[in-house]
Amino acid sequence: MMESRHAQRKNEHLSLAAKYYDQVHQHHYFDQVRLIHDSLPEMTTDDVDLHVELADNLEIENPFYIEAMTGGSDQALKINRQLAQLAHKHHLAMATGSLSIINKDPQAFSSFEVIREENPDGIIFANLSASASLDQAQAAISLLKANALELHINAAQELIMPEGDRDFNWLDNIQFLVNELDIPVIVKEVGFGMSKTTIAKLQTHDVHLINVSGRGGTNFAAIENRRNHNINFASLLNWGQTTPESLLEAHSIRRGKTEIIASGGITSPLDVIKAGVLGARAVGVAGYFLNILQREGYDALDQTLEEWQVIVKRSLALLGCTSFTELSRVEYVLGTDLLSYARQRHLR
């Protein structure tokens, strides 16, 4: 069957994320964070518990999870089925791609439904635009029996898209949804990072779960610029804060009840650990896992997820931490660029 233009856009995201993968991963910003080794951890690996509590009634079994990617096309359905099977097998939480497409293209339904079918008891985050209505949010949550809702804030991406939104009045709607919905709401970027100003604004609008999703991995400026043949937005290709910069921004302000989630450019279990040291409560991975699935296949991603779990657990023991949240007391030093950023922003 002929796919809609919305489905075609989702397919372009998948193919362009693959196409630009090597280019955008030339910089590995977590190299700017070095952890201090303690030769006397004084614990056993059996003492490590990987569970993380993100909010009341929201506990995940592993600190890293499969971050929001796709849905809305036949290709997306196939990818979502495979990701959901692996999430089920490895007890990982998984976020869906944006369900906003369902309002424009009801055929898109099955490509999301499959995520719950393949993982009946798993933790699933539904994903929608921050401008979603309450009805749309409730429909998405009920379709997936979602355990949390992610609302993405993606002004930089929308501006580059020829068909993108131009109205970025989101905060009041976000606050409304947080207060009306009976599951936790996570507000997330899509790879441009967050400043302390953004995080403070979210906090004053009742948001307690914030995914800073920084620069350093999938680059939606590059992806949408490739799709936009009218205007060249090449000057925005390096827009935004990296994920380590965003985590330092978040760390510098009073947390209160807020929990920070990291994503953006996470390509190793050590990145997961470093994000935890910089204060992340959990870590989402999108492009890296997708790239393995698309280039090397299901079995390769299966093995990667197995290895990441083992390495994250053993690294926690190496650092003398019995849980992911204890990482925040591990000592670290920053590389020159990141230290300069932190000083100029008065973050340290």
Q: Which residues bind ligand FNR (CB under 6 A)?
A: 13-14, 17, 67-70, 97-98, 127, 150, 152, 188, 190-191, 213, 217-218, 263-266, 285-288, 290
Least Å from the CB of residue 285 to ligand FNR = 5
Q: Is 158 annotated as a binding residue?
A: yes
Whole-angstrom CA distances from 89 to 69, 120, 146, 324 are 19, 11, 18, 21
Q: Which residue lies nearest ligand FNR, judged by its C-beta?
A: 217
Q: How far is the CB of 292 from ligand FNR (least distance, A)?
A: 12
Q: Give whichever of 127 and 147 is closer to ligand FNR, judged by the CB atom.
A: 127
Q: Which is nearer to ligand FNR, 187 or 321 (CB)?
A: 187
Q: Please state the closest distance from residue 75 (CB atom) to ligand FNR, in A.
A: 11
282 annotated as belonging to a binding site for a ligand: no
CB of 167 to ligand FNR, least distance (A): 18
Q: Which is nearer to ligand FNR, 168 or 333 (CB)?
A: 168
Tokens of 225: 């610029």
- Alpha-carbon distance of 113 to 71, in angstroms, equals 10
Question: Annotated binding residue at 130?
Answer: no
Q: Which of 94/321 has CB closer to ligand FNR? A: 94
For ligand FNR, the closer of residues 184 and 217 by Cβ is 217
Integer angstrom CA distances of residue 295 from 18, 224, 263, 299: 8, 22, 21, 11
Spatial CB neighbours of 153, under 8 Å, sequence gap ≥ 6: 130, 170, 187, 188, 189, 190
- Tell me which residue of 32, 93, 85 sits closest to 58, measured CA to CA: 93
- Compute the distance between CA of residue 172 and CA of residue 339 in angstroms, rounded to an integer: 35
Q: Say if residue 318 is exposed, middle or buried (CB neighbours under 10 Å; 0-12, 13-18, 19+).
A: middle
Angle between helices 287-296 and 298-318 (to 10 degrees): 140
Residue placing its CB nearer to ligand FNR in the complex, 126 or 321: 126
Q: How far is the CB of 243 from ligand FNR (least distance, A)?
A: 8
1 annotated to bind ligand:
no
**To the nearest whole angstrom, how small is the minimum distance from the Cβ of residue 43 to ligand FNR?**
30
Answer yes or no: is 42 a known binding residue: no
The count of C-alpha atoms lying within 13 angstroms of the C-alpha of 218, restricted to the half-sphere facing its C-beta, is: 27
Virtual torsion, Cα 77, 303, 30, 329, nearest 10 deg: 110
The answer on whether 226 is annotated among ligand-binding residues is no
On whether the CB atoms of residues 103 and 137 are closer than 8 A, the answer is no
State the minimum distance, in angstroms, from the CB of residue 37 to ligand FNR.
Answer: 27
CB closer to ligand FNR out of 220 and 324: 220
Residues 99, 126 contacting (CB under 8 angstroms) = yes
Closest CA to 86 of 275, 314, 297: 297
304 annotated as ligand-binding: no
Known binding positions? 9-10, 68-70, 98, 127, 157-158, 188, 213, 218, 286-287
Known binding positions for Mg(2+)? 158
Known binding positions for substrate? 9-10, 157
